[in-house]
Amino acid sequence: MKTLNFKGADGNALTGVDYGGAGKPPVLLIHGGAAHARWWDFVAPALVNSHHVIALDQRGHGDSEWTREWGYGTRHYVADLNAVISAWGLGAPILVGHSMGGHNVMCYAGLYSEALRGMVVIDSPPSYPDHAVAMLRELAEKPARRFDSQAEAIAGFRTIPSDTVATREVLDHVAEHSFRLASDGKWEYKSDRRTMMREPMKAWDGLARIKCPALFLKAETSVLKDGLAERMVAAMPHGRLEVVPSSHHHVLLDNPVGLARALRIFLHELE
């Protein structure tokens, strides 16, 4: 595993994690909101036998650069994906995204599906209702929690939404990579609080233009309304739906083995 460096659409510095498999067809993993690339640590290693697997820290998340002025709308994330994929020289990837990352992936694919070998979306909405945008903005305006030690920060780590059946080992590992030591000796979240201020695009508008093979993976206990995932998949020319068992919204933490199995089957079909 090694760290990669990319440039985003504004010349902003983005980081990534290379899990291995160089020379094989590329897979690019995109985390959700307030998360980071290392959320994929329990899934990505299961894919490297057949693919070159890379996870990206989206702008303002993980070790990627924060924007000087607010710049965390869907259009900004999509522009970064276009910049990374256009310049990386690895060829057309299979693009995989969870939650907000899956929303960004759908919006990207609606514009640039010819640049993809395939697309996987994990429990992601096609749009965000006004009340959800308002709730996230309210969270963003609250001061971030800070901690006296890394151990205290790890113990205080929580997912949003909070429903999860992830093991303590998985949660502690993700938390270990979620904080940094500040100059005053406190431990603080790596993610820019302003990333929760969303200006979402409507992925619905581009679903019919996604020409590449597309897999929608829904959590067994999903945050999506009943029937919504089915309608989304029906709108895609080459879409299909599967459910990952024993999982709430944070599928890659709750059931990484089941998620990896579903991804391997789809990747095998593409190759």
- Closest to 241 (Cα-Cα) out of 257, 222, 254: 222
Distance CA 9, CA 239 (A): 29
pLDDT in tens, 49-98: 999 999 999 999 999 999 999 999 999 999 999 999 999 999 999 999 99
The DSSP secondary-structure symbol of 66 reads P
Q: Tell me how far apart the alpha carbons of residues 229 and 131 are, in angstroms, rounded to a whole number.
A: 20
Instruction: Supply the pLDDT for residue 258.
Output: 98
pTM of the model: 0.97
Cβ count near 173 (within 10 Å): 18
What's the CATH number of domain 2-127+197-270, 3.40.109.10, 3.40.50.1820, 2.30.29.30, 2.40.50.140?
A: 3.40.50.1820
Percent of the chain with pLDDT strictly greater than 70? 100
The percent of the chain in helix, strand and coil, each rounded to the nearest 5, is: 35, 20, 45
Model confidence at 266, pLDDT cuts 50, 70, 90, reads: very high
Q: Per-residue pLDDT averaged across 129-152, rounded?
A: 91
Helix and strand counts by DSSP (H, E) for the chain: 9, 11
Q: What does the block give as tokens for 105?
A: 């992936």
Cα–Cα distance measured from residue 123 to residue 233, given in angstroms and rounded to the nearest whole number: 12
The model's pLDDT over 200-253, given as tens digits with 9 standing for 90+, comes to 999 998 999 999 999 999 999 999 999 999 999 999 999 999 999 999 999 999
| Partners of residue 55 on adjacent β-strands | 17, 29
233 by DSSP, 3-state: which? helix
- Cβ contacts of 155 within 8 Å, gap of 6 or more: none
